[in-house]
Amino acid sequence: MSEHVADIAWERETESFAYDDYNRTHVWRFDNGLEIAAAAAPAYLGDPSCLDPEEAFVASVSSCHMLTFLAIAARKRLTVDAYEDHAVGRMEKNENGRLAITRIDLHPKIRFAEGVEVNAQALDKIHHTAHEQCFIANSVKTEIIVNT
């Protein structure tokens, strides 16, 4: 078992605490000393220069899938030189009528080292296994689609 800790801090910066007035900016602090400026998404009156929780969630799913994919490739001795993903999360009402990130589409592009040949079927199998083993994917109800 492991624990993962984040400290979140917000302080009112506006005189009014009316819904349209109060600030949404806050700080995420992690045990390695990293601090990230965060806010609500711009659609919810957040600062667009800050990271919002929805973006962080999508990035977390994509990052976990990538790290799991890389671990599987390394164990198979399939050297990867580069991995990029364009992850897109869709927020909409779920089956209970509540807003949720209901789906995340991953669009990974992998470049293997020169001389490493991986056919489409083998690549799909690695992505499938990575999805099954991804800690974050195993922790959420969101549908995750890997588009290869």
pLDDT digits (tens, 9 = 90+) for 13-38: 999 999 999 999 999 999 999 999 99
Looking up tokens 């976990």 gives 64
pLDDT digits (tens, 9 = 90+) for 42-97: 999 999 999 999 999 999 999 999 999 999 999 999 999 999 999 999 999 999 99
CB contact at 8 A, 23 and 9 = no
Query: What is the Cα Rg of the chain in Å?
Result: 19
Beta-sheet strands, E only, within the chain: 6-9, 26-30, 35-38, 80-84, 88-93, 99-106, 109-112, 143-146
CB atoms within 10 A of CB 2: 4
- Quote the tokens at residue 58: 């999508």
Give pTM, 2 decimals: 0.93
